[in-house]
Structure 1
Amino acid sequence: MHRFKELEIWKRSRLFCSKIYSITSNFPDSEKFGITNQLRRASVSIPSNIAEDSSRSSNKDFSRFLQITLGSTYEIETQLLISNDLNFITNSELENTISELQEIIKMISKFKSTLKF
């Protein structure tokens, strides 16, 4: 069992989630139940899944659920690209946000690779 509050990936993903909320607050009201909701839910799922996964009884289970968490990161990347296509975010916002997301992906992947089972 891992103490999720001590995990840097959990801390970073919480901050990233806040950034997604900030970015999507500028999206059109018509997207409240569309891409805004999708991005927010996917971003919340990253730290939430890490916290939930940390309670797994084995590293093998934790590793499997971290893979699911990685799926959420790629979902966010796709949604950010679509948001840029729709001119909801600028190219600069896209680059900065995806750069942060890539760091989280690397951290999750590295952490996952260190789990022994």
Structure 2
Amino acid sequence: MPVKYFEDLEVWKEGRRLTNRIYDVTEDTRFSRDFGLRDQIRRAAVSVMSNIAEGFERGGNQEFLQFLYIAKGSCGEVRSQLYVALDRGYIGQNEFNELFKSFKKLSVMISNLIDYLKSSRMKGEKFKKPQYKSLREELDALTDGVSRSGR
């Protein structure tokens, strides 16, 4: 089944799930007092799912790739901030391991999507040309578009 919306992407769904986990973890009293780290790790987690969504909505593979690289970078940022949270005692080793592993898996999912898009011959939705049955149908569509634009 073709993916029509970014919400259909498994990688986006996983990013959403992990963003909610980060929000849950950072609501803990120990973590919530460190406003800088709390806000930064939340922004980085939100950035992952947001960049996947924005890149998908651009409609072209090259732009989507750019946003996927940003999302992948944000995954790394979250993992780095998890070390700070562990070192400061805001999260325990088990929680760190679970979150770190999950964000590493998400990073791999993004990498796999990047590899797929780079090898795909499809350039993206905005580059798709409509399929016409005849030259007459194509010309009618073009002249209809011109008349609607007021030219």
> Which TM-score applies when normalising by structure 1?
0.92
Higher radius of gyration, 1 or 2: 2
SS at match of 2:33: helix
For 2:6, the equivalent position in structure 1 comes to: 4
For 2:68, the equivalent position in structure 1 comes to: 66
C-alpha distance in 2 between matches for 1:96 and 1:78: 14
The alignment yields a C-alpha RMSD, in angstroms, of 1.5
Q: Tell me if the contact between 1:2 and 1:54 (Cα under 8 Å) persists in the aligned partners.
A: no
Superposed structure 1 runs of 4+ greater than 4 Å apart = none
Q: Tell me if the contact between 1:2 and 1:55 (Cα under 8 Å) persists in the aligned partners.
A: no
1:78-97 matches, within 5 Å, as 78-97=80-99
State the aligned residue count. 116
C-alpha distance in 1 between matches for 2:46 and 2:85: 18
For 1:103, the equivalent position in structure 2 comes to: 105
For 2:46, the equivalent position in structure 1 comes to: 44
Q: Tell me if the contact between 1:77 and 1:98 (Cα under 8 Å) persists in the aligned partners.
A: yes
Structure 2: gaps (5+ residues): 124-151
Higher mean Cα deviation, 19-28 or 78-87? 19-28
Q: CA deviation at 1:58?
A: 1.8
> Which TM-score applies when normalising by structure 2?
0.72
C-alpha distance in 1 between matches for 2:98 and 2:79: 12
Structure 1: gaps (5+ residues): none
